[in-house]
């Protein structure tokens, strides 16, 4: 697999600095029941990297010491981690909002059919990947049968109260483009998703998040091998909107990998870019108590244009109300 990192490191992206910490985004490991072509962590069924119990305890201690409001769990499929439920319960007992970044199909997989009920019982917010509302497009991007299983999971979640107007159980869906293009207007696309899913399948959800594909790991390697990486980066840079800089999620979020190393964001984690505020090759979570990150520089590279192009892109969707 060809590496897009050397190309991305040569960048003139504007300098940005960290604000007070609100969210820990924790990658529990790369084990996943899917191998999606757009996956920026290169996750899959054969990956063995999983966060240890000691690191999980360090995550909880860091969150408690910094009054972290939100624990954002990702992977791979975070639900496949053997201590996923323990971590969720511990975080909820501390009063944190917990987000599960779910691929939906795991909720229908053997051994996980009770996971949706667990998530509902813990009032976990679900952000679920559904890159299109058409079967052929989803299966092309994520694998045969994924759309069918995703619909079954969404119906299961709806029966538990997720996405319902009279419920506090939040269910958000994630769209990402099929190829090297920018996401369409998020509000318009959300309306189309809601109309199609409800009229055809009786499925409801709260919000749609339109997220740009990042030119790193599996997707970046694909662009590089096809000779399209430079064109995609030109598109992102030419679509840069300065107004998105103030709303970037990295300003108030720290990303922690499965080994406990800390990064400015999930994408930097995948590129192995160390914290910009600390002159060390790597910073482990156990080292953070002695480090003041507030107003520290955030490490940036060319891929950051993916978060600031057009309407903007983050793990919470567009950064602007609509594209300019």
For residue 318, tell me if it sits in a domain.
Answer: no
Q: What is the pLDDT of residue 141?
A: 72
- For 276-289, how does the pLDDT look when each residue is reduced to its tens digit (9 = 90+)? 988 888 999 999 98
Strand order of the sheet with strand 125-129?
207-210, 171-175, 125-129, 97-102, 70-74, 23-27, 253-256, 262-263
pLDDT confidence band for 323 (50 / 70 / 90):
very low
Name the residue among 171, 131, 219, 176 with its Cα closest to residue 318. Answer: 176
What DSSP state is assigned to residue 265?
S
- For 124-149, how does the pLDDT look when each residue is reduced to its tens digit (9 = 90+)? 999 999 988 988 888 887 778 889 99
Q: State the Cα–Cα distance between residues 32 and 127, nearest whole angstrom.
A: 16
Q: State the Cα–Cα distance between residues 287 and 284, nearest whole angstrom.
A: 5
Residue 264 has pLDDT above 80, yes or no: yes
Q: How many structural domains is the chain composed of?
A: 1
* Vertex 229: Cα angle to 140 and 215 (nearest 5): 65
User: Residue range 40-48: average pLDDT?
Assistant: 80
Query: Which residues are CB-contacts of 29 (< 8 A; sequence separation ≥ 6)?
Result: 47, 49, 50, 51, 75, 76, 78, 80, 81, 258
For residue 314, tell me if it sits in a domain.
Answer: no
Burial class (CB in 10 A: 0-12, 13-18, 19+), 74: buried
For residue 149, tell me if it sits in a domain.
Answer: yes
Residue 38 has pLDDT above 60, yes or no: no
For residue 320, tell me if it sits in a domain.
Answer: no
pTM above 0.75, yes or no: yes
The CATH number covering residue 285 comes to 3.20.20
For residue 317, tell me if it sits in a domain.
Answer: no
Q: State the Cα–Cα distance between residues 171 and 100, nearest whole angstrom.
A: 10
Question: Residue 71 sits in which domain range?
Answer: 5-308
- For 153-183, how does the pLDDT look when each residue is reduced to its tens digit (9 = 90+)? 999 999 999 999 999 999 999 998 878 899 9
For residue 281, tell me if it sits in a domain.
Answer: yes
For residue 175, tell me if it sits in a domain.
Answer: yes
- For 218-241, how does the pLDDT look when each residue is reduced to its tens digit (9 = 90+)? 788 888 899 999 999 999 999 999
For residue 62, tell me if it sits in a domain.
Answer: yes
Q: What is the pLDDT of residue 292?
A: 86
């Amino acid at each position: 697999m060809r590496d897009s990192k050397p190309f991305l490191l040569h960048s003139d992206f504007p300098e940005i600095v960290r604000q007070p910490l609100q969210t820990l985004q924790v990658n529990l490991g790369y084990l996943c029941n899917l191998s999606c072509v757009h996956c920026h962590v290169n996750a899959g069924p054969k990956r063995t990297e999983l966060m240890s119990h000691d690191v999980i305890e360090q995550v909880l201690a860091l969150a408690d010491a910094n009054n972290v409001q939100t624990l954002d769990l990702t992977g791979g499929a975070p639900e496949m981690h053997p201590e996923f439920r323990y971590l969720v319960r511990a975080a909820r007992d501390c009063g944190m909002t917990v987000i599960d970044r779910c691929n939906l199909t795991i909720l229908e997989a053997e051994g996980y059919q009770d996971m949706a009920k667990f998530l509902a019982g813990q009032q976990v917010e679900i952000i679920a990947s559904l890159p299109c509302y058409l079967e052929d497009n989803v299966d092309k991007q994520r694998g045969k049968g994924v759309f069918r299983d995703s619909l079954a999971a969404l119906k299961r979640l709806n029966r538990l109260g997720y996405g319902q107007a009279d419920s506090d159980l939040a269910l958000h869906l994630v769209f990402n483009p099929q190829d090297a293009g920018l996401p369409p207007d998020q509000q318009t696309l959300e309306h189309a998703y809601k109309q199609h899913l409800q009229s055809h399948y009786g499925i409801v959800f709260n919000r749609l998040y339109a997220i740009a594909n990042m030119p790193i790991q599996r997707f970046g390697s694909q662009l590089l091998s096809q000779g399209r990486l430079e064109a995609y980066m030109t598109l992102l840079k030419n679509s840069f909107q300065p107004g998105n800089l103030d709303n970037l999620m990295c300003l108030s979020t720290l990303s922690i990998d499965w080994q406990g190393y800390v990064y400015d964001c999930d994408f930097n984690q995948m590129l192995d870019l160390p914290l910009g505020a600390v002159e060390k090759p790597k910073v482990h979570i156990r080292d953070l108590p002695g480090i003041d990150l507030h107003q520290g520089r955030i490490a940036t590279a060319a891929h950051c244009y993916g978060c600031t192009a057009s309407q903007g892109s983050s793990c919470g969707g567009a950064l602007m109300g609509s594209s300019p």
